[in-house]
Each structure stands twice: as C-alpha cells, then as structure tokens.
Structure 1
Amino acid sequence: MEENRSYTTEEVSKLLRVSKLTVYDLINKGELPAYQVGRQKRIDAVDLEQYISRSKNIKSHKPLNRENRQDHKLEPSLQDAVIISGQDVTLDILANYLQKEGFKSLRDYNGSLNSLISMYNGKCTIVSTHLFDGDTNEYNLPFIKKILTGRSYIVIRLVSRWAGFYVKSGNPKNIKTWEDLSRPDIKIVNREKGAGARVLLDEQIRIRNMSPKAIQGYHNEESNHLSVATAVAQGLADVGVGIEKEAKIVNVDFIPLIQEHYDLVILKSDEQESLIQTMHKILNSTEFKNKISCIEGYDTTRTGSVIFETL
C-alpha cells in the first residue's frame, strides 16, 4: 500500500473482503481511524496497514470474512446494531435520536433499490426509499411489495420533497421537461444504478418511450445528489436529476417536476417491536419534526404516518 494515499470505505471493504457495514463498525469503535471528506469517509493507507498488522497479532481474532454465510444475516459484531440504509441527511438526524434512545445506530449509504435488496437478505434494519413506479404513478409500495415478498414489514413516512432538474443558473438551454433530455444539444449527468433518482429518470423515459441511447451522458454516473448538482455547476453537464436542497448549496437552478415520498421500511418481528415503537415516538415528536423542517425543501406534514403495514 502507498503510505500517501487514502481509501474510501468501499475500497477498504474490498481490500479486507468484508462488508461496508463492518468497515463502518470498525470506524465507530475507533479501531480504524477515518476522516470525513464531504459526505464520504476516508481511511489513510498507513492506518489501514497498522490495523491489519494489529489484527494479525491478536491470537483470538476471528476471520473478518463472513460474506459467504448462508443465512445472509448481519455479522455478529453488528447483530445488536440498528443499520439505517440510505443517503439523506434526515437519516443522520434519525440515527442520532435512536442513539439517545439507547439503540446502537450505524449508517449504510446505499441507494433505495439496493437498500431494499439488502433488507431482503437480512443485512440492514431500517431502509429509506424513494422509488417511483411509472405504471402506477406511485412511490415506493410497488417496489417494496415485490422485493420484500414473504416478509412482514411496516412503511412509515419520513418526509416528502421535490425532485426535479438541476440546471445552470438562469437555465440557458431552457430545459423544462423529461423530453428535453433527448435533445442533441443537451448532456446529462446520471445517478448510479439502484439510486432513487436513477429509477425516477429510467421510469420517466420508459413511460415516454424514450431510449437511453438518445440521451447524451446517460452513462456518466455520480453517487449522490450533491455530486450531480456540482457537475452541472462546473459545466460538465447541462442537467441532472436530484432534490431541491442541494441546488442551493452549489448555486444551480432547480426545476421541480414531482413531489416524491421518502419513506422508511422496517421488518416486523418480536425482536423489532421495541425499535418500531421508538421510531413512532421519534418521528411523531414535535422536536424531531421541527429539526427536519429547518432543512429547506422538506415537508413533514405526514412525517410519522404509517403508509402500509402487513399483517
């Protein structure tokens, strides 16, 4: 390893052959030093090397690689932790409230679709999702019902928010509709596969019988809303899909197109009952709603409402 370089949590997970959740757990325990760059944690190569050396010298150290366990459950060190999967800042606030209530909370920064798949495989506790279904014009439930088939779960509203286009200040290319994305003079920046914004774009072009091949930049991907907005601000693309909040951070214009519902999914079981009750308490508290309302672009009118629940 090069001592002057650093790694993302994803790169470390691949090097150690463990899940990203294990890496986050090691960071939270103080066993693996890390620092924040924007919304991303990084680990210096020298610190990773030292961690590996320490691990080799501990005779009782158990093998790190448990990825091939047949039951697909959380690793033992994470069994007592609440794993919250998703990328929005409201989830960081929720994690802090759960910590105060006595729940060990860890964050996993997966997109909505990948988060649901992880939940199906038993690898996370709370999933946030904003997945638009073009056939029903509905958010989340069509995907949740299909992916979590055979599971018992509850869906609770976190927030509603506007999704739309990031465009350069003044919108010089007059981009207003989904159809505009196929114009020859327009280049987009996309989100990664599995992200809610990527699903929204894919569904909108599908129901309009548009081809991704006709959209310049369709395969240029960024991993979060802020990176998409920044790419537009820097002139690397003319337009990207995201939420309102990030537009103000990097000074691009925002064109609202659809109000999306950002919901939380929790699997139901006797062991999860205390967590579910605590979630109801937090999400319906005036203090929590006021804190979220301070973030521009979020609607808390139905925060804490049960959207769907299996028997």
Structure 2
Amino acid sequence: MATRDALTVEDVAGLLNVSRSGIYALIKNGEIGSYKVGRKIRFTEAHVRDYVTRSGREPRRQEAYGSVALDENKYFDLSTGRRGGEGFVICGQDLILDILSNFMRMHGVTALRAYIGSYDSLVSLYHDKVSVATAHLWDSSSDDYNVPHVRTLLPGIRCTIINVTYRTQGLYVAKGNPKNIQTWSDFARDDIRMINREKGAGSRVLLDENLKLLDLYGSQVAGYDEENQSHLAVASAVGRGEADIAVGTEKIARQVENIDFVPMKRERYDLVVKTERVDTPEIKTLFEILRSAKFQNEFKSIGGYDISDMGKIIHET
C-alpha cells in the first residue's frame, strides 16, 4: 500500500475487503481512527495499519500482476442497492476476480467488485443486485460443487455455471502441526480451538457439511462462533497462535508465516450468471476474456490455481 494521508471511505473499504457501511460501523465503534475535512471522512495510512495490526486483517495488495494493477479496482457496496447504469457487478473474493474486473474495464465494460461470500453472492444474483456471482459450495449429498446450491438459492431461474479455477481446500495448522491435526473429526477434540469463516462462505459450508457427516454440531467445536471474513485473516490467526485450526485454500497458506497446510478437498470455483443474459455484450466479453491466452497467462506463474477448465460451461440449470 503506497503511503497516503487522505484515504476515502471507499479506499479503506477496498483495502479491508468490507463494505462502506462496515467502515462506518468501525468508526462508530472506535475501532479505526479517522479525521474530517469539512464533512468528509478521511483516513491516513497509519490509521489503517493500526487497525490491521490490532485486528489481524490484511489490506488489499496494490501491486501489479502482469499488466494489470489491482489498485484500479472499483468497489460496490451492496447495502446501497444497485440502480440502473451502475455498472457490471462481479461478486467474490479471489484475486482472479480482481484481475478479471480490470480486464473487463480494459474492454470497455464498467466492472465493479463486491467482496462477499458464495451464499450471499448467489442470493444477490437472485435479487438482481449483481451481474455475476461466484461460488465454491460443496454439497455432501451429491458430492458436487455449486449446482445443487444454485438450484436451491435461485429457484426457477435458469442459470449458466462457468468454471474459473480449481483450488485445494484444507486445514491451516501451526507450523510443524504440533497437535497432529489430520481429519475433520479433529475439530471436536478437547485440545483444539478453531477460528471460523462467516456464514455462507464456501470454506464454512465445507466444514459444516463434513461435521454433519460426522454427526457433529458446531456447538461441540471450540471457537466455532468466532468468525472472520477472509482466508488470510483466519490463517494469520492460526499463525499467531490465537487458534489451532481453520479452513481455507492452499494458495493463502503459502502467503502466511508459521502455518502448515493439510489438504482435504479439491474444490471447483465457478461463476454463475442468469442464462437469459448470456448473450449480452457484457457476458460475451467476460467469456472472451476468460478463454483468452492473455488472461490465463496471468495465473500460470501463481501457485494454487488449476485453470485447465477456465471459461468452460460446467452446467446449465
């Protein structure tokens, strides 16, 4: 993050992966420092870094990947509601979507980003608050990703599901795995405390589905109700010794010190759009970008992604 002393609410919301209303709540609760210029709220880099240090959050990275600078992203606050002409909104929290959004704008599409989890993404698509949802929701009954949840959360709506990547989900544990954590059943051990993702996040759904298969309840797991809204934050909490275990992706495990990763599940990370909009210029542009060598080359040097099916239609409901 470059040194800046007049960050706006929108800037800080983007850096912390939260909505504008979330930033106002932090100010109200005295959790983040700020100052005013007239009636406008502003932040210094020191305010943000102090909050990051105290909370364990990580600001959004501002460096470039290939030819695409991540600080070009525009953020959309879903709590305000979406109105006509406000752009093409892509939901989800993965780096791929940040770069996709920038490529869309390079192709003349006003693309905005909303950083929310899989469940809320699909619900927002149902209510036409967003243009594209993303999902990595596992269903234990079918051992399939996303399709059963799309059918449930968008009843009667024809949808097209497009693959973005495959990722490995697993367990973040302390370096050296001193408690020998290996399986989902370890969550119920008396000597294990977890930190969880928010309700509706794909990682939390994966955990809940596996607890269900083991006939366990969240109430039997120490730390189950302690939540954070990013893979990086829960991994960092394990690295600092504040928790023994968390669920997340292999890619994030490579970025955090003092943790190891226990692989558990290969997951499919998909985009979901309403089929009636597949022939719109915006969705056609999205397909063109996903299938282009230029876009895919952005990820060939980044570990943790399998892009062999990127841009492939997985299912049409």
What is the TM-score of this pair, normalised by structure 1?
A: 0.78
Matches within 5 A, 1:1-311: 9=13, 12-13=20-21, 38-39=58-59, 74-76=82-84, 78=86, 81-251=87-257, 252-269=259-276, 273-310=280-317
Distance in 2 of aligned mates of 1:229 and 1:296: 17
Separation in structure 2 between the aligned mates of residue 180 and residue 271 of structure 1, nearest angstrom = 44
1:16-56 CA distances to partner (integer Å, 9 max, x unpaired)? 89xxxxxxxxxxxxx98778854469xxxxxxxxxxxxxxx
Distance in 2 between the 1:113 and 1:122 partners?
14
What RMSD in Å do the two structures reach over aligned CA positions? 2.8
Closer, same or farther: CA 158–138 of 1 in aligned 2, 3 Å: same
Provide the C-alpha distance between the structure 2 equivalents of 1:278 and 1:242, rounded to a whole number of angstroms. 31
Query: Could you tell me which residue of structure 2 aligns to residue 52 of structure 1?
Result: none
The amino acid of 1:96's aligned partner reads: N
Structure 2 Cα separation of the partners of residues 127 and 35 of structure 1: 33
Q: Where do 5+ consecutive residues of structure 1 fail to align? A: 18-30, 42-64, 68-72
Secondary structure, in 3 states, of the residue corresponding to 1:308?
strand
Cα pair distance change 1:35/1:141, threshold 3 Å: farther
CA shift for structure 1 position 264: 0.2
Residue 281 of structure 1: CA displacement? 1.1
CA contact (8 A) 1:112 1:194 kept: yes
Is contact 2:7-2:43 (8 Å) kept?
A: no
Q: Which amino acid aligns with 1:187?
A: R
Could you say what secondary structure the match of 1:149 adopts?
coil
Larger radius of gyration: 1
Q: Is the 8 A contact 1:66 1:75 kept in 2?
A: no
Q: CA deviation at 1:12?
A: 3.9
Q: Deviations over 1:76-128 (max 9, x none)?
A: 451xx110111111100110111111100110001000110011011000111
Deviates more, 1:164-173 or 1:7-16: 7-16
Q: Which amino acid in structure 1 is aligned with residue 234 of structure 2?
A: V
Identical residues among aligned pairs (%) = 38
Q: How many residues align?
A: 264
Amino acid at match of 1:74: R
What is the distance in 2 between the residues matched to 1:163 and 1:170?
Answer: 19
**Structure 2 unaligned runs (5+)?**
1-5, 26-39, 49-57, 62-77
For 1:249, what is the secondary structure of its paired residue? coil
Alpha carbons 2:193, 2:243 under 8 Å: kept: yes
**1:216-264, CA deviations, whole angstroms, 9 ceiling, x for partnerless residues?**
1101111100001000000000010000111111121111100000000
CA distance in 2, matches of 1:239, 1:15: 28
**Deviation digits for residues 257-286 of structure 1, max 9, x if unmatched?**
000000001113358522222122111111
SS at match of 1:142: helix
TM-score by length of 2: 0.76
CA distance in 2, matches of 1:193, 1:300: 27
Name the amino acid aligned to 1:174: N
Partners of 1:234 and 1:5 lie apart in 2 by 29
Secondary structure, aligned partner of 1:255: strand
Equivalent-residue separation in structure 2 for 1:236 and 1:66 (angstroms): 31
